[in-house]
Amino acid sequence: GAGVSQSPSNKVTEKGKDVELRCDPISGHTALYWYRQSLGQGLEFLIYFQGNSAPDKSGLPSDRFSAERTGGSVSTLTIQRTQQEDSAVYLCASSLSPATNEKLFFGSGTQLSVL
């Protein structure tokens, strides 16, 4: 596609429910990143994929968070038993290769609100 696409753009859920956030990277981009942006917290790194594997998942805040990537393309971030503190904008980014050499292209994000 022309850019990184994320869906849904907005998600409102009740505390305790599970949510799935989707990211479609730019075609041909092998590296994919998930970040979380909260007010005053900047961009918090969650997980990074190279192809279908995740060399760095150190940023996932708890075992309620998981992510997968299939076919070296689409990625899904799943949050189980959502809590109010999970409310944030979840950003996905992709790049041709790991970030040392290539700039990241960001999606518009998913605004998650947990009531």
Partner 1 sequence: AQSVTQPDIHITVSEGASLELRCNYSYGATPYLFWYVQSPGQGLQLLLKYFSGDTLVQGIKGFEAEFKRSQSSFNLRKPSVHWSDAAEYFCAVVGQAGTALIFGKGTTLSVSS
3-state secondary structure of 52: coil
45 binds partner 1 (CB under 8 A): yes
- Of 74 and 104, CB closest to partner 1: 104
Q: Of 95, 96, 36, 98, whose CA–CA distance to 65 is shortest?
A: 36
Instruction: Determine which helix (DSSP H) or strand (DSSP E) holds 95, and give its type and residue range.
Output: strand 88-95
Provide the pairing of β-strand 5-7 with 10-13: unpaired
Output DSSP code: residue 62.
S
Question: Which residue in the set 11, 13, 52, 59 belongs to the binding site for partner 1 (CB under 8 A)?
Answer: 59
Q: Are 32 and 48 in contact (CB under 8 A)?
A: yes
**Contact region with partner 1 (CB under 8 A), list: 18-26, 49-57, 62-70, 78-86:** 49-57
Question: Which residue in the set 77, 88, 91, 114 belongs to the binding site for partner 1 (CB under 8 A)?
Answer: 91
Q: Rounded to whole angstroms, what are the CA distances from 7 to 4, 36, 40?
A: 10, 15, 24
8 binds partner 1 (CB under 8 A): no
**Contact region with partner 1 (CB under 8 A), list: 9-17, 20-28, 73-81, 96-104:** 96-104
Q: Which residues bind partner 1 (CB under 8 A)?
A: 33, 35, 40-45, 48, 50, 55-56, 59, 91, 93, 98-101, 103-104, 106-109
